[in-house]
Copies of this chain bind each other. A is one copy, B any other.
Amino acid sequence: MKLSPTMQKYIVHWGEMGTRWGVNRTVAQIHALLFLANNPMTADEIMETLNVARSNVSNSLKELQSWGLVKVQHELGDRRDHFVALQDVWEIFRVITEERKKRELDPTLTVLRECAIEAETDTEIEAATREKMDQVLEFLEVLLSGYDDFKKLPPSTVIKLLKMGSKLGQLASLFGKEDV
């Protein structure tokens, strides 16, 4: 596939972004490419378009599929796999945050809970330290349960809430007087 200069810039930057957030550059680039592409692409096409090794494409695609961001399609009379990416931006965001939560935040929560329990019987640990551990744990729990609520809402509602912004804050402080 021929990349226009703009697409090239876009894809390169997206790869850069990936590395800054702990995502493999090639994986991010392929994701950007498939997102921008308007037709399914074969692994070989991706390889030629991005100039990366075939194996690299294969592994990256597997990774993207495990995230649920890319799916395989087959075309009549063609044995090759054709790959398509999720096309809806909000859906992509939802999938990434959800997967990231599952892979990183949830395990962290588990460890923090273990630590909280162990801290109770750990005689060497100071009370103030224990309290701080508890605060972090509670923070994450509030944040994640809030996230769980919001992710159920349709994007249009979330957009509304975002646009209400600080007005919502005023509302909440009002209610807050007699605690929610």
Contact = CB atoms under 8 A, between A and B. Distances in A.
Given A9-B115, A169-B152, A126 B17 contact: no
A143 B96 CA distance: 15
Number of copies: 2
Interface string A97-116: 00000001000100110110
Interface residues of A, number: 67
A132 B87 contact: yes
Interface of A: 2, 4-7, 9-10, 13, 17, 19-22, 35-38, 87, 89-90, 93, 104, 108, 111-112, 114-115, 118-119, 122, 124-126, 128-129, 132-133, 135-136, 139, 142-143, 145-146, 148-150, 152-153, 156-166, 168-169, 172-173, 175-176, 180
